[in-house]
Amino acid sequence: MSHIFPRHTKSVLPVAARGDGVYLIDSDGKRYLDGSGGAAVSCLGHSDPDVANAIKRQVDTLAFAHTGFLTSHPAESLADRLIAHAPEGIDRVYLVSGGSEAVEAALKLARQYMIEIGQPQRTRFIARRQSYHGNTLGALGTGGNMWRRAPFDPVMVSASHIAPCYEYRGRQEDETAEAYGLRVADELEAELQRLGPETVIAFLAEPVVGATAGAVPAVPGYFKRVREICDRHGILLILDEVMCGMGRTGTLFACEQDGIAPDIVTIAKGLGAGYQPIGAMLCSARIYGAIEQGSGFFQHGHTYMGHATACAAADTVLRKLTEGGLTDRSARMGEVLADALVSEFGQHPHVGDIRGRGLFRGLELVEHRGTKAPFAPDRQVAARFKKAAFANGLICYPMSGTIDGQMGDHVLIAPPFIISEDQ
């Protein structure tokens, strides 16, 4: 009998024994094509020798040094490399162990920034209904997935939520994509006016929505308008690129394609590529400067932050994504994948939408393509899709999300960037 406390207590899972490129192999020898890189994590596949060697070298030299006392070469090198490729104005890197930790750090830094600049009355966050920002109580409180939130609602600090930019369901027939983008972005202005803009700390959003909707990018112009509204009211723009960052959408940071830069951006998953647990919160020089010239202390921290071995792995991953050309490969293979999905499923009666960027693609499954009516939740379509694919040796990431009170079934396809056309 296992002593593991699994996510699903009623199912028995196969044992992953080995990784081989884009494949995972279980202890019975069955091969699974990792079509979603787990949850958009494994961007380099499962047997990258360069990352493995970087980890071995680092463990032999220095495994860990507590950041309360010392910094380390791999942490410094990773921070330099990230900033060399970061959106404009982003200047500092706070290294943590995963996505939820990165989001928690972002929320707390944003709040502390407001205190440091003499605006302690700012206490609220605004996020979007179609969003997932992590499972810790602060991150969960900003997320918009009602199913994940429900049991914990009474004990969470809650953000207020506005509509997502979700063209498939939100754009009206007589509306251009641009007009739609401006209309939904203006919900941020309306929510600020309702709350009192001087009480709000930040707006938090995923540039391409992942875990609640299956790779939904915003329409052109949406984030530019959001940026303008944030600036007009002195609120921070926090972009959560935990899932969509690190080359997943074909550019290192997803927001590059929206033509804007955030004040704070979070990354994780692809940064460690599955080889080490690591995440990061990056912030602008302005925010860092407020702390540096103010209290001089960010009131936050985790024991394993800036872990030397994790940083050495991530530094190698990042080098391969940038100098090694793997981010460009994500863009190129993303087009191959998109064409294949459209030619296979473009006319399928139960595929309502095919979307995404780079190797970050989503299918929305519907009961009726014409009316866009979703399947009834009790049919558990996404879960059944996952099961059928898995039985046939394909891992893909299914999700059922509540969006504006409506259930929807989505499948996320996010394979490693090394995938070949045949695979």
Task: State yes or no: residue 415 binds ligand PLP (CB under 6 A).
Answer: no
Q: Which single residue brings its beta carbon nearest to ligand PLP?
A: 99
State in angstroms the smallest separation of the CB of 402 from ligand PLP.
Answer: 16
Phi-psi region of 134 (alpha: psi -120 to 50; beta: other; left: phi over 0): left
Q: Which stretch binds ligand PLP (CB under 6 A): 18-26, 94-102, 282-290, 405-413?
A: 94-102
Q: Which of 37, 74, 134, 356 binds ligand PLP (CB under 6 A)?
A: 134
Task: State yes or no: residue 106 binds ligand PLP (CB under 6 A).
Answer: no
State in angstroms the smallest separation of the CB of 94 from ligand PLP.
Answer: 15
Amino acid identity of residue 163, one-letter, is A
Task: State yes or no: residue 331 binds ligand PLP (CB under 6 A).
Answer: no
Inter-axis angle of helices 99-116 and 285-293, nearest 10: 60
Determine the size of the site formed for ligand PLP (CB under 6 A): 15
Nearer to ligand PLP, 119 or 135 (CB): 135
Contact 58, 315 (CB under 8 A): no
Q: Which stretch binds ligand PLP (CB under 6 A): 57-65, 126-134, 246-254, 306-314?
A: 126-134
Task: State yes or no: residue 144 binds ligand PLP (CB under 6 A).
Answer: no
Q: Which of 191, 206, 258, 263 binds ligand PLP (CB under 6 A)?
A: 206
Q: Which of 39, 146, 195, 394 binds ligand PLP (CB under 6 A)?
A: 39
Task: State yes or no: residue 98 binds ligand PLP (CB under 6 A).
Answer: yes
CA distances from 338 to 41, 356, 359, 361, 366 (A): 19, 8, 8, 7, 19
Q: Which stretch binds ligand PLP (CB under 6 A): 28-36, 85-93, 179-187, 236-244?
A: 236-244
Q: Which of 109, 156, 123, 161 is nearest to 137 (CA)?
A: 156
State in angstroms the smallest separation of the CB of 398 from ligand PLP.
Answer: 14
State in angstroms the smallest separation of the CB of 207 from ligand PLP.
Answer: 10
State in angstroms the smallest separation of the CB of 101 from ligand PLP.
Answer: 7
What is the Cα–Cα distance from 385 to 389, expressed in whole angstroms?
6
Task: State yes or no: residue 396 binds ligand PLP (CB under 6 A).
Answer: no
Q: Where are the alpha helices (DSSP H) in 73-125?
A: 73-84, 99-116
Output b/e per residue, 156-167; b: 16+ Cβ within 10 A: eeebebbbbbbb
Q: Which of 219, 220, 209 is nearest to 361 (CA)?
A: 209
Q: Any idea what DSSP says for residue 198? A: G
Q: Which of 87, 99, 141, 247 binds ligand PLP (CB under 6 A)?
A: 99
Please name the residues in contact with 305: beta carbons below 8 A apart, sequence gap of 6 or more.
Answer: 67, 94, 95, 96, 97, 101
Nearer to ligand PLP, 302 or 372 (CB): 302
Continuous segment of H or E residues that includes residue 391:
helix 381-391
Task: State yes or no: residue 132 binds ligand PLP (CB under 6 A).
Answer: yes
Q: What are phi and psi of 268, to 5 degrees?
A: -165, -110
Task: State yes or no: residue 207 binds ligand PLP (CB under 6 A).
Answer: no
Q: Which residue(s) pair with 406 in the sheet?
A: 403
Contact 399, 212 (CB under 8 A): yes
State in angstroms the smallest separation of the CB of 282 from ligand PLP.
Answer: 14
What is the Cα–Cα distance from 8 to 3, expressed in whole angstroms?
13
Q: Which of 211, 267, 282, 412 binds ligand PLP (CB under 6 A)?
A: 211
Nearer to ligand PLP, 185 or 268 (CB): 268
Point out which residues bind ligand PLP (CB under 6 A). Answer: 39, 98-100, 103, 132-134, 206, 210-211, 240, 242-243, 268
